[in-house]
Amino acid sequence: MELKEITDHPSYPDAYWAAGDEVFQLMDPLDAKRTLRLRANLNHNLLLHRRLFLADTSILVSPSMFALLHDEELGPGYRQLFRDGSIVTAMRSAANNFSEVAALIIEKRNFVAEMEEDQIWASARLLDSLSPEIVRTDTRDEMLKIGHDYVLRAEYWAALGIPENVALAMTESVRRKREERNLDTVRQSEFWEYARDDLLTPGEAGTAQQIRAYMSIASLGTMAKGIGIPPIYPAAYGPNVDRIYGTHTPWEHRADRRMKLLEPFDQKDPRRLDEERNIHEIAALLTADQVSKIRDKVEHRKLLKGAQQAIQESGNSAAEILERALEEFRGYLEVGAGEFLVDWEGGGRRSLLWETKTGQLMRQFSSGAVGTAAMIPGVGPALGTALTLFGWRRAAKLEKWREGFREVTQEAINDPTIIPELRTDEVIELSLFGEIPYSFMALGGDAEEQD
């Protein structure tokens, strides 16, 4: 069986959902709440994009996705999202379907071991039965270049803040395993194995998590670039994304898990963050069938048109276009989604699934929300600047702020940890919602809690 390839070329507002990969959620309990979080974030991203592209293993070897697709009540609607092309699989060139992917990763043990082999085969059979659309990816050459130029060099990891002795031992271990396994590419699997098998003491947990985070960002980023659409990373990993992509996110986490805009960004207008929280709260209460109905509406098409227009503009114009489109869409959702929800003022009939108090909806999952970052041509284009469109408003209005921004982005572009091969001219997005597995040392040696 050979799955059908997409016929229309991927382009923004399509997006590659790297944040959909469970490598970013490994320390979360594998329970119903984790599946519900996946559902909420799937809904949210499908409301804000045209299509979501996910790696084959992000779909195949995901206990949460497996549980969601098998849910008696909700499963049929999510299975339909695969059938109608709303969710597209980025599939490795060596496979034609999910069963072949399953055979490859089981043979090479190239997967996160949260599912037994019989579950992986069951997942493959179900996914193949949906006949989802696929896009071919082959990142071997890109990862080989990134490996030789960056991640196979101990000094690169040391520059990222990994202890020198760990960096040297890890790169030697990865090189040895590549030889033993006759690998002609560089994979994240061998780095993950080292972090899992060699960094075992409590004091090494943060280092192990940093290694996993950096390799996941780099590996998944090559897929997004190969497809030609922006990657979406978990917002809590924003500083890690900055180091690898050379971007500069305009926010920081506070001890109370809220965010704070940094100079030179406007700290007086956090309204856009609230706008997207509201969209996520509505998305969390919808079924896949309801999401599909909203995606068929003219209001959703207007949002996508606004996003397409914004990416062609620069500076303030881009931010204002997307702000208006988002605000209009949120206004529609408050009314349009009402027809689907019972007892809306009380939080909706499904609110108890989220373990929230009446009327709070999804507040615990929206704390620490960040925003969607995009490459803005009009403000430091050569510096790979990342701005938060949904949370940023007229930041470049004051010249001193513009100069300050140029300074910090110049510092970022000179960082030896940046991997230019991952750069694209498109958007880099940070997923507002979801949690970081556990706290680890922030970049630059600062001990900063990131929840």
Q: How far apart are CA 149 and CA 135, in angstroms?
A: 27
What pLDDT, in 10s, does the model give residues 46-68? 999 999 999 999 999 999 999 99
Q: How far apart are CA 311 and CA 318, in angstroms?
A: 6
* Residue 430 three-state SS: strand
- DSSP, res 148: I
Torsion (CA) 390, 394, 400, 405 in degrees, nearest 10: 30
For each of the chain's 451 residues, which pLDDT tens digit applies? 899 999 999 988 898 998 888 777 665 667 788 888 889 889 999 999 999 999 999 999 999 999 999 999 999 999 999 999 999 999 998 899 999 999 998 887 666 667 889 999 999 999 999 999 999 988 889 999 999 999 999 999 999 999 999 999 999 999 999 999 888 889 888 998 899 899 988 889 889 989 988 999 999 999 999 898 888 888 778 888 888 887 766 666 666 555 555 555 544 444 555 666 678 888 888 899 999 999 999 999 999 999 888 777 765 676 678 778 888 898 888 887 777 765 443 443 333 222 222 223 322 222 233 344 444 333 333 233 333 333 333 333 444 545 555 555 555 556 789 898 887 665 677 776 654 433 322 222 232 333 2
Supply the pLDDT for residue 252: 62
Query: Strand runs (DSSP E) across 70-163, as ranges?
Result: 87-92, 134-137
Supply the pLDDT for residue 304: 94
What pLDDT, in 10s, does the model give residues 201-219? 888 988 998 998 899 999 9
Q: Is the peptide bond before 29 cis (omega within 30 degrees of 0)?
A: no
Supply the pLDDT for residue 180: 92
Supply the pLDDT for residue 242: 83
Q: Could you tell me the two tokens for 354? A: 């989220």
Coarse DSSP helix, strand, coil percentages of the chain, rounded to the nearest 5 percent: 55, 10, 35
User: Can you give the residue ranges of every domain in the chain?
Assistant: 15-137, 140-215, 251-414
Supply the pLDDT for residue 147: 95
* Residue 232 three-state SS: strand
Supply the pLDDT for residue 451: 29
Instruction: Determine how many CB atoms are found less than 10 A away from the CB of residue 193.
Output: 16
* pTM of the shown model: 0.79
Supply the pLDDT for residue 408: 54
Q: Which long-range contacts (CB under 8 A, 24 or more apart) does 124-127 make?
A: 124/60, 124/97, 124/98, 124/99, 125/98, 125/99, 126/66, 126/69, 126/70, 126/79, 127/59, 127/60, 127/69, 127/82, 127/89, 127/98
Supply the pLDDT for residue 60: 94
Supply the pLDDT for residue 393: 36
Q: Could you tell me the two tokens for 106? A: 């089981």
Q: Would you put residue 445 in left (φ > 0), alpha (ψ -120 to 50) or beta?
A: left
Supply the pLDDT for residue 88: 97
